[in-house]
């Protein structure tokens, strides 16, 4: 049973992200669903996670994998019903697992009742004022109001046929909401209460840095937008200071529950701007994607940890660690690809999205490094957000045929981005076709033959499997996370070493040669040990002093 009196459970939680349509299919239609998740609660329990965060399960045409929401207070009938949510919450809580719901406030889908209403209503109407409509340029408004590019490529303004255009920073099926409109604000407060009243424990906030926008009568050009700094709250679209007024209101809703509902911001902002999202007056926690963007290198990893622990302290929160999620190439694959020759920041999202198809993947090395990075991550103070399938050591699926792909990033950016479907392929539970135990039908994205060798059933009883490593690590972590402090220890080049106050020590060798393993009782190793040697690209957990745990 979850402890209802624990208001700080999230500070060092291990949160498991589920991509609902690709987790488990209970009714043989090829699409994962809520009863499927429910049926796998014993698995989630055996993994030892504290909470699950399913990506959106709302009604959606899936123009963007469910991040195009038709109705924020309902469930996609293909995935289940509100009763299924209630049953899921009850069963998860009985198993001691909390539930985090994904809120998508920057945009609705174009099938949302509000947007249907906006299209049916004239310019200047209250219905259009819930979104961001502008008159087009040219004699009859036939030209877009600005030349902006959407995040998935292609134009960010779409005409509606009467001389007006609407803003969609993502796909054209995702019209941006007007957060200056009180009705929009109130409706999201209602949504947060709706899920909180049902017993949901927390929220993950999509594009949290995008809601507040300042759009004057004359819009800037894309070149102007690109040239405007994003580090001072003054950019017209991103990370404006006013966004925090919205989250202050949300905070009062969260704090009206016991324990207070939690939230984590997905905010791709400059580091020094993160603490405001994570503050106790705001959302309370924010994603830190720095580890995910760092090369597998000692200096890079150590710097990321130092910086983010300092930022978390500044915000009065704990930090978050992410190596994989539904938007990026799986970390086992990233680490098996040649390192980019330019800083990853320069490649931004695109580098992460395009990495999956390289013919030069060293799959074994990628997995070895991924296991090492995971043990490093799980030893750090703060919350760890794990993505379904990483516990199996899954690689990205690079070779999905174009006609089976679903991600708008693939379609809107032909030849540039391969898209994110490769990390969203339904999980292999067993070795059996048609869908490796995902369900009784073929899965909605094709699963490769090599999934059989990575199936849960194959790894379940193998003590050397990646699944066994995750289970053991999460079990130890649960008992060893007794404080949020960390002390760095001296180490050789290519090696990073730190200790928690209870003597739990972590040492990671990023280099290609083994180094001597320091004294201490070995608790866990990411690759097999021989003698007192720390192998290349390996992390070991040690216990110094008397064993804190058995
Ligand atoms: C971030 C989500 O993680 C991603 O999957 C989605 O495409 C965009 N936000 C737009 O909602
Ligand atoms: Ca189904």
**Which tokens sit at 439?**
């369900």
Please name the residue that has the structure tokens 């080049």: 493
Residue 536 has pLDDT above 90, yes or no: yes
Domain boundary among 433, 466, 499: 466
Asked whether residue 365 is domain-assigned, the answer is: yes
State yes or no: pLDDT of 324 exceeds 50: yes
Mutate to test the pocket of ligand 1, among 67, 267, 286 (most ligand atoms within 8 A of CB): 67
122/124 Cα distance (integer angstroms): 6
Can you give the pLDDT at residue 9?
97
- Regarding whether 426 and 380 lie in a shared domain, the answer is yes
Tens digits of residue pLDDT in 123-154: 999 999 999 999 999 999 999 999 999 988 89
Instruction: Average the pLDDT over 33-51 and give the result.
Output: 98
Atom 5 in ligand 1: residue holding the nearest Cα: 327
358 and 209, same structural domain?
A: yes
For the CA of 170, the closest atom of ligand 1 is 10
> What pLDDT is attached to residue 347?
41
**Which atom of ligand 1 is found nearest the CA of 67?**
11
- 453 has a pLDDT exceeding 50: yes
432 and 285 within one domain: yes
Here the CATH number for the domain that contains residue 218 is: 3.20.20.80
Determine the distance separating the centroid of ligand 2 and the alpha carbon of 414, expressed in angstroms.
Answer: 30
Q: Is 19 part of a structural domain of the chain?
A: yes
- When mean pLDDT is compared across 316-320, 340-344, 490-494, 532-536, the lowest value belongs to 340-344
- DSSP symbols for 170-206: S-TTSPBB-TT-HHHHHHHHHHHHHHHHTT--EEEET
Ligand 1 mean position, distance from CA 204 (Å): 11
Residue 524 sits in a domain whose CATH number is 2.60.40.1180
**Residue of 399 and 251 predicted with greater confidence:** 251
Check whether residue 279 and residue 298 sit in a common domain: yes
Over residues 252-256, mean pLDDT? 98
**C-alpha 66 to ligand 1 mean position (Å):** 9
Distance 206 CA to ligand 1 centre (A): 6
Q: What is the pLDDT of residue 194?
A: 98
Which pLDDT does position 340 carry in this prediction?
Answer: 63
In short, whether 176's Cβ falls inside 6 Å of ligand 1 is no
User: Are 262 and 148 in the same domain?
Assistant: no
pLDDT of 12 strictly over 70: yes
Is the distance from the beta carbon of residue 102 to the nearest atom of ligand 1 less than 6 Å? no
Q: 202 and 221, same structural domain?
A: yes
**Residue 360 confidence class, pLDDT cut points 50, 70, 90:** confident
Q: Relative to the alpha carbon of 168, which ligand is closest?
A: 1
- Per-residue pLDDT at 6 exceeds 50: yes
Residue nearest (by alpha carbon) to ligand 1 atom 6: 67
* Any atom of ligand 1 within 6 Å of the Cβ of 67: yes
pLDDT at residue 415 in the model = 73
Q: Are 457 and 437 in contact (CB under 8 A)?
A: yes
Ligand 1: centre distance to CA 456 (Å)? 28
- What ligand 1 atom has the least distance to the C-alpha of 266? 1
**Pocket lining: 267 vs ligand 1, CB cutoff 6 Å:** no
- Per residue in 469-500, pLDDT (tens digit) is 999 999 999 999 999 999 999 999 999 999 99
Q: In degrees to the nearest 10, what's the CA dihedral of 288, 289, 290, 295?
A: 160
**Closest residue CA from atom 2 of ligand 1:** 206
Report the C-alpha gap between 203 and 53 in whole angstroms: 8
Ligand 1 neighbour 64 (Cβ under 6 A) = yes
- Residue 134 is predicted with a pLDDT of 98
Same domain flag for 259 and 127: no
Domain boundary pick from 466, 494, 527: 466
Question: What pLDDT is recorded for position 313?
Answer: 94
pLDDT band at 337 (very low <50, low <70, confident <90, very high): confident
Structural domain ending residue among the three candidates 423, 439, 466: 466
Closest ligand to 328 CA? Answer: 1
Shared domain for 353 and 496, answered yes or no, is: no
Percent composition of the chain: helix, strand, coil (DSSP 3-state, to 5): 35, 15, 55
Please report the pLDDT score of residue 152 as a whole number: 86
Q: Is residue 352 part of a domain?
A: yes
The number of the ligand nearest the C-alpha atom of 289 reads 1
The DSSP code sequence of 267-297 is: ----GGGHHHHHSTTTTS-B---HHHHS-S-
Nearest CA, atom 10, ligand 1 = 67
Average pLDDT over residues 341-355: 44
The whole-number pLDDT of residue 414 equals: 76
Residue having the nearest C-alpha atom to atom 11 of ligand 1:
67
Is 211 a domain residue? yes
Average pLDDT over residues 453-469: 97
- 287 in ligand 1 pocket by Cβ < 6 Å? no
| Interval 317-339 mean pLDDT | 91
**Residue 58 alpha carbon to ligand 2 centre in Å:** 14
Determine the distance separating the centroid of ligand 2 and the alpha carbon of 27, expressed in angstroms.
Answer: 5
Q: Tell whether the model's pLDDT for residue 354 goes beyond 70.
A: no
pLDDT band at 349 (very low <50, low <70, confident <90, very high): very low
- CA–CA separation, 534 vs 396, rounded Å? 28
Three-state SS for 493?
Answer: coil
Per cent of the chain over pLDDT 70 is 95
| Strand 487-489 relative to strand 383-387, pairing | unpaired
- Identify the CATH number of the domain in which residue 149 sits: 3.90.400.10
Q: Is the CB of 396 under 6 A from ligand 1?
A: no
Q: Mean of the per-residue pLDDT values for the chain?
A: 94
As for how many domains the chain has, the answer is 3
**Does ligand 1 have an atom closer than 6 angstroms to the CB of 207?**
yes
CB 75 within 8 A of CB 67: no
User: What pLDDT score was predicted for residue 549?
Assistant: 58
In this structure, the answer to whether residues 297 and 359 fall within a common structural domain is yes
- Between the CA of 303 and the centroid of ligand 2 the distance, in Å, is 43
Is residue 22 located within the same domain as residue 98?
Answer: yes
Q: Which atom of ligand 1 is nearest to the CA of 104?
A: 11
pLDDT at 383 over 70: yes
**79 CA → ligand 2 middle, Å:** 6
> Separation of 83 CA from ligand 2 center, angstroms?
16
Residue 385 placed within a domain? yes
Q: Does 286 share its domain with 154?
A: no
Q: Is 397 in the pocket of ligand 1 (CB under 6 A)?
A: no
β-sheet bridge partners, residue 540? 507, 525
For a ligand 1 pocket test, name from 60, 64, 153 the mutation site with the most ligand atoms within 8 angstroms of its C-beta: 64
How is residue 107 annotated by DSSP? B
Whether 411 is covered by a domain: the verdict is yes
401 & 535 share domain: no
**Given this model, what pLDDT does residue 161 score?**
96
pLDDT at 351 over 60: no
Taking residues 57-62, report their average pLDDT. Answer: 97
Strand ranges (E), 248-369: 262-265, 320-322
Residue 86 domain boundaries: 9-107+182-466
The model scores a pTM over 0.85: yes
Evaluate whether residue 477 is within a structural domain: no
Nearest CA owner, ligand 1 atom 3:
327
Ligand 1 centre from 222 Cα, in Å?
21
Ligand 1 atom closest to the Cα of residue 106 is 11
Give the CB-side neighbour count of residue 349, counting CA atoms within 13 A. Answer: 13
91 inside domain? yes
Q: Is the pLDDT of residue 246 over 60?
A: yes
């Amino acid at each position: 049973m979850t402890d209802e009196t624990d208001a700080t459970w999230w500070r060092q939680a291990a949160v498991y992200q589920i991509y609902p349509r690709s987790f488990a299919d209970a009714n043989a239609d090829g699409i994962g669903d809520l009863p499927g998740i429910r049926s796998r609660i014993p698995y989630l329990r055996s993994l030892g996670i504290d909470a699950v965060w399913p990506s959106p399960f709302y009604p959606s045409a899936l123009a963007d994998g469910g991040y195009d929401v038709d109705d924020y207070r309902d469930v996609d009938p293909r995935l289940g019903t509100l009763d299924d949510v209630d049953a899921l919450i009850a069963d998860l809580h009985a198993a001691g697992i909390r539930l985090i719901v994904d809120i998508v406030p920057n945009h609705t889908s174009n099938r949302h009742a509000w947007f249907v209403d906006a299209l049916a209503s004239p310019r200047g109407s209250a219905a259009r004022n819930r979104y961001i409509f502008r008159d087009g340029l040219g004699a009859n408004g036939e030209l877009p109001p600005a030349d902006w590019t959407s995040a998935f490529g292609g134009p960010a303004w779409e005409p509606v046929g009467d001389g007006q255009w609407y803003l969609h920073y993502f796909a054209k099926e995702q019209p941006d909401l007007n957060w200056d409109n009180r009705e929009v604000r109130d409706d999201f407060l209602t949504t947060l209460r709706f899920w909180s009243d049902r017993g949901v424990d927390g929220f993950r906030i999509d594009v949290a840095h995008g809601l507040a926008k300042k759009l004057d009568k004359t819009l800037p050009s894309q070149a102007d937008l690109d040239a405007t700094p994003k580090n001072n709250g003054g950019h017209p679209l991103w990370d404006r200071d006013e966004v925090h007024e919205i989250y202050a209101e949300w905070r009062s809703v969260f704090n009206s529950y016991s324990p207070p509902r939690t939230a984590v911001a997905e905010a791709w902002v400059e580091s020094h701007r993160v603490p405001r999202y994570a503050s106790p007056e705001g959302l309370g926690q924010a994603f830190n994607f720095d580890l995910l963007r760092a090369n597998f290198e000692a200096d890079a990893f150590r710097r990321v940890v130092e910086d983010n622990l300092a930022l978390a302290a500044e915000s009065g929160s704990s930090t978050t660690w992410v190596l994989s999620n539904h938007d990026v190439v799986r970390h086992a694959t990233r680490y098996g690809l040649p390192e980019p020759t330019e800083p990853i920041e320069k490649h931004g999202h695109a580098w992460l999205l395009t990495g999956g198809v390289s013919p030069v993947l060293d799959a074994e090395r990628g997995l070895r490094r991924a296991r090492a990075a995971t043990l490093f991550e799980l030893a750090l103070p703060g919350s760890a957000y794990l993505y379904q399938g990483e516990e199996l050591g899954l690689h990205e699926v690079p070779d999905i045929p174009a006609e089976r792909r679903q991600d708008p990033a693939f379609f809107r950016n032909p030849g540039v981005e391969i898209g994110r479907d490769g990390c969203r392929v339904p999980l292999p539970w067993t070795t059996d076709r048609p869908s490796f135990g995902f369900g009784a039908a073929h899965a909605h994205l094709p699963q490769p033959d090599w999934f059989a060798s990575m199936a849960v059933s194959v790894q379940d009883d193998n003590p050397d499997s990646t699944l066994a490593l995750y289970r053991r690590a999460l079990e130890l972590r649960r008992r060893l996370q007794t404080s949020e402090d960390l002390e760095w220890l001296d180490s050789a080049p290519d090696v990073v070493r730190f200790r928690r106050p209870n003597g739990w020590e972590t040492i990671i060798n990023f280099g290609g040669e083994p180094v001597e393993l320091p004294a201490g009782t070995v608790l866990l190793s990411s690759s097999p040990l021989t003698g007192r040697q720390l192998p290349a690209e390996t992390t070991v957990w040690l216990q110094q002093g008397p064993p804190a745990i058995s």
